[in-house]
Amino acid sequence: MALEKQEIAAALRRRLRQSHRAEGELRPLGHATADACLGGGLKCAALHEIFPAGAADAVAASGFVFSLAACTGGKDKWLVWVQQDFSALEWGEIFGTGLLALGFDPNRLMIVKVPDAASALRAGAEALNCCGVGAVVIELWGGAKVFDLVASRKFTLLTAKHGVTAFALRHAALPAPNTAETRWRVRAAPFAAGANWDGARFDAELLRNRHGGLGRWIMEWNGDGRFHKTGAADAGAVFATPLHRPVAPQREILRQAI
């Protein structure tokens, strides 16, 4: 009887491991140049860090994180978004209609509200332990000194242990030493005049890559689970978003003011 119970427990553990992304698996983003720089794609079961280039790029950075999570988390998995209260006050709440425009199912999103950075890290660590979670986003405001080298190391070990990808979205902060696999700086990129505004366009700069080179690309997301190259990126032209650029409707409704 004892042996039978051990066999059942072992089978359950195998099924739980198979339900997550394999440790170290590379998930292609769809943008050939960026994937080549990353060695084949974004590493699953790892910690990645994303910074908006400025206050005006906070919504674009949020959309970029959702796009990365859609690439790595799996359509049948939950995305847990841990959000400091002040981030919601400053940038607005995540809005379901905007997620649909990005091709993300709002029914697979769980938002956890916390008062401060320390609580966000604790909630994020707990989420990484949950079966059925494909990705965890920790949205932090300010310097967040608690997210130091030791804390990031803990998250790196947890992501590898449980096979879940973690993203740290850092508002109003500067890069500091940590164990993140990649670090990105994101700006909103304008659409060409008369272009179809379906999806979203990002000016994404890879600032850190533990296993490859760095680069900066215009990456377009059409909600089909992959990024796409654009003519501007192929030509090597990278441009910032003009302040007078009209905002695409999908971008306006990704985050809604409280």
Whether 183 is in a domain gets the answer yes
Token pair in block for residue 54: 């400025």
What's residue 14's pLDDT? 54
Amino acid at 193: A
Whether 80 is in a domain gets the answer yes
Number of domains in the chain: 1
Whether 119 is in a domain gets the answer yes
DSSP H helical ranges for 43-116: 58-73, 85-91, 96-101
pLDDT at 88 over 70: yes
Whether 210 is in a domain gets the answer yes
Whether 54 is in a domain gets the answer yes
The 8-class DSSP code of residue 192 comes to: P
Whether 1 is in a domain gets the answer no
CATH number (domain holding residue 65)? 3.40.50.300
CA 52 – CA 58 distance, rounded (Å): 5
Domain of residue 226 covers 21-256
What's residue 32's pLDDT? 95
- What are the tens digits of pLDDT across the range 179-237? 999 999 999 998 766 566 567 899 999 999 998 999 999 999 988 888 988 754 433 33
Whether 143 is in a domain gets the answer yes
What's residue 222's pLDDT? 83
The 8-class DSSP code of residue 213 comes to: -
Whether 69 is in a domain gets the answer yes
- What are the tens digits of pLDDT across the range 115-155? 999 999 999 999 999 989 999 999 999 888 899 999 999 99
